[in-house]
Amino acid sequence: MLTVAPITHIKRDERGVAWIAETNTKVIEVALDQIAYGWDAEEIHAAHPHLSLAQIHAALSYYHDHKGELDKTIQQQLDQYMRQRSNASGQLTRAELSARRKTS
């Protein structure tokens, strides 16, 4: 008979947010590295050497097991950012900032 050993690298806080245990890194942050940059576990490890490969693989597994929920959270965060950005007055574009630097 096989015994299933639980993976304990992922913990959910009181709000239901998944974290890599014993770190201050959210699972969604690791997932975003894969989504945004197309990084594999080794490339994510190079960017976050404080995480073990086991922790990274656990985070990616958790993401893929909860993809719908986490993708929805990512989209909501992006939508909120875009709303706040569009409502912020006095924001400079990169071109405007660059022009100001050249004149000062």
| Domain assignments of the chain as residue spans, ordered by start | 10-103
Question: Taking all residues of the chain, what is their mean pLDDT, rounded to a whole number?
Answer: 92
Least confident of 12-16, 23-27, 95-99: 95-99
Q: What is the amino acid identity at position 5?
A: A
Residue 95 in 3-state DSSP? Answer: helix
Q: What is the amino acid identity at position 59?
A: A
- Check residue 92 and report its DSSP letter: P
Distance separating alpha carbons of residues 51 and 53, to the nearest angstrom: 7
- Check residue 26 and report its DSSP letter: B
Q: Taking a C-beta distance cutoff of 8 angstroms, is the pair 29, 70 a contact?
A: no
Instruction: Write down the residue that tokens 């080794």 correspond to.
Output: 42
Find the mean pLDDT for residues 25-54: 97
pLDDT at 23 over 90: yes
pTM for the complete prediction? 0.78
Residue with more model confidence, 9 or 7 = 9
